[in-house]
Amino acid sequence: MRTFSCKCGERLFFDNTKCLACGSLLAYEFETDQLHTLGESANKIYPLGDGRSVRLCQNYVDYDVCNACIDVQQENSWCIACQLNETIPNLDYAQNLEKWAKLESAKRRLVRTLLKLNLSIKPKTHQSQDGLAFAFLEDQSQNPDVLEVNVMTGHHNGLITINLAETDEWVRESTRLEMGEYYRTLLGHLRHESGHYYFEQYVLGSNYLFEFEQLFGDYRKDYEKSLNDYYEANQTSYDHENFISAYSQAHPLEDWAECWAHYFHIVDTLETAYAFGILKNPSSNDFFSQQLSDWTLLTVKLNELNRSMGLEDMYPFILGTNVIKKLKFVHQVIDPMRLPKQ
């Protein structure tokens, strides 16, 4: 993630809503990747000083769970990230506003990387059934008053469902330990689930499918049985040469989604390191090799920094030869999107 600066010169960050130095209201615009310093508004319309004007996303105005703005020329009341919401948490329960805000913050970061990588984002509607949507649902494990007995975090036909319980740190951390995972985050969930959606968009039915099957295996393998077998075996150890995580072993599509999420972790974290001057900007034209060598350099430093604080390694993963081939494949699927369309 890059950093931004306020009109007063103060350094700003992606999630900021107010400048701590001058008190100005801030709003992020996805389309230009800018965090704007806003002045006085007339009828809730903020002139940017370059002839354009923006208004705040409706979820910023009504609930303060978004910090985005949209060009007034656009007809939408919501930013591109909020337009993807199919179901938001039930706000009759006071604690759900805070949970929703955590999810929106992670979703904005996902959407910003999707745009940065030039991946197509279209909201799922009756007219465009192949679009993307999010449902944030609560089940009885957290709230006995709701109807849903069990909500599974997952993806189905463009709809990404996240169980609201995942916003609870205690739940998330105990599940992480139980599953033997190195990390478990909201952003990680969203990146992983988006991988399932983009598999259907870009790999399924494309020329990439043959190479996919060479690397990951048969995507038609019985999904439900594979997942049941995986959970039953409670397999927390894995072969680092071939898999990026224990969960990757569950099914070829899970392996793909884990690699996709990992690629996003690398791309976003490297961007942050370049923005802060921790790494020099890429010099090589071989983008994947450059990323990989920068990533190795960076993660050694990150782990040592954490150890200095008595913390666990920030990056406990091992990138085996076959894992690198899988990450390279994800890169090959995504990278052509960045080229200007003919």
**Interface residues with Zn ion (CB under 5 A)?**
6, 8, 10, 19, 21-22, 24, 57, 59, 66, 68, 79, 82, 254, 257
Smallest gap from residue 72 Cβ to Zn ion (A)? 15
CB 135 within 8 A of CB 174: no
Note the maximum CA span of the chain. 61
Residue type, 21: A
Smallest gap from residue 215 Cβ to Zn ion (A)? 17
Smallest gap from residue 169 Cβ to Zn ion (A)? 22
- Of 6 and 270, which CB lies nearer to Zn ion in the complex structure? 6
Spatial CB neighbours of 182, under 8 Å, sequence gap ≥ 6: 245, 316, 317
DSSP 109-171: HHHHHHHHTT----B--SS-TTSBEEEEE--TTT-TTSS-S----EEETTEEEEEGGGG-HHH
**How is residue 293 written in tokens?**
């060598």
Smallest gap from residue 55 Cβ to Zn ion (A)? 11
Taken in order 30, 188, 257, 312, the sign of the CA dihedral is positive
Smallest gap from residue 168 Cβ to Zn ion (A)? 20
Distances, alpha carbon 335 to alpha carbons 1, 288, 328, in Å: 18, 10, 10
- Of 256 and 295, which CB lies nearer to Zn ion in the complex structure? 256
Q: How far apart are alpha carbons 290 and 273 in whole angstroms?
A: 14
Residue matched to tokens 């900021």: 16
Smallest gap from residue 78 Cβ to Zn ion (A)? 5
